Amino acid sequence: MDLETVMERAGPREFGPGDELPEKYRKAATRMIQFHANSEVMGGYLDKTFTRKAPSLDRKLANTAKVQDEIGHAQLLYRAAETLDVKTRAEMLDELATGEGKFLNCFHYPVDSWYEAPMIDFFVDGGAMRRQATLKSTSWTPYAHAMDKVCFEEGFHVKHGESILRELMNGSKATQERMQETFDVWWPRILQFFGPTNDESVHDDFAQAVGLKTATNDELRTSFLNMYIPKAEKYGLEIPEYPRIYERDDGTMAVREDDLDWKEFWTISRNEYEGSTEQIGSRRRRQDAVEWVRESLETWESSAGPTPQTAD
């Protein structure tokens, strides 16, 4: 199948492992799914920190379950990427550990307080839900199937984060002020979660043309603003003065994208941000720590021989 045919046929769940697809499509799909899988892993690392800082046993248990979900999502996505026959799961995990693999901007920032938990678990996961819901209609069928499960569980994660936000914003005046200070720091990062503006995106046009993406970065950002600004205000958070939010003629809200720090964003995208070293190093150390398990399994599999066939 050539690219022209792919573009003509592109639609929800149109292509699968049985299709002979051009290399450009397979590489673009692998890049996109690998990025998503890496982000699930690194998001789980931030939530691991919140588990230690959670103020009650119930919160610790809920957060532990969320971490397990995120790592499970990553496994699904790495397997979906493998079906494109470009990279193996092991190769993608190695790239993440060495700093070659890319992941979402919000997961490059180290976290150090419980007040940051709703920033990730409510606002960032809420943004992820807006994006992932559109990926149920992606043209690569294994990716779309993975999104069915991922979106189901992410819905619980958003509720988990909303519960934490509600609890903190019903706390003391000092707690509310601390929550607002944290929100002020994270709000620009959250708005950059959806990626660069359409005119700066390197991969958006092709991904749209072959059906891998069904919504642009700017469309997703606007959709998020219109859903989550009212939610933030509902719990008493004030939207920061910058980046400036304005109302369009049609009544929808949008952000003045020039107010966002895109220089920092592009530094992060190259894994060159100061916090990136810490986050990637943490992943590498943990991967190295369990290398003996992988080696033991490989030794066992090679010595066990083929699985014996049983008679009907």
Locate the DSSP E strands across the chain: 245-247, 253-255
Q: Is residue 299 in some structural domain? A: no
Q: Are 176 and 169 in contact (CB under 8 A)?
A: yes
Domain that includes residue 68, residue range: 3-288
The percentage of the chain sitting over the pLDDT mark of 90, rounded to a whole number, equals 57
**Within-domain flag for 153:** yes
The CATH number linked to 108 is 1.20.1260.10
| pLDDT value at residue 116 | 94
Domain annotation covers residue 295 = no
In tens, the pLDDT along 245-272 reads 888 888 888 888 888 988 988 898 888 8
**Contact assessment for residue 283 and residue 45, using Cβ atoms and an 8 Å cutoff:** yes
Q: What number is the average pLDDT over the span 89-94? A: 90
Q: Average pLDDT, stretch 98-116?
A: 89
pLDDT score for 24: 94
Number of domains making up the chain: 1
Q: Does position 305 have pLDDT exceeding 70, yes or no?
A: no
Burial 39-54 (b: 16+ CB within 10 A, else e): bbbbbbbbbbbbbebb
- Compute, in degrees rounded to 10, the torsion defined by CA atoms 149, 150, 154, 157: 90
| Residue 245 falls inside a structural domain | yes
Q: Which helix (H) or strand (E) holds 96?
A: helix 89-98
Residue 60 lies in a domain: yes
Has residue 82 been placed in a domain? yes
Element containing residue 31 per DSSP (H, E): helix 23-53
- Asked if residue 186 belongs to a domain, the reply is yes
In a domain, residue 298? The reply is no
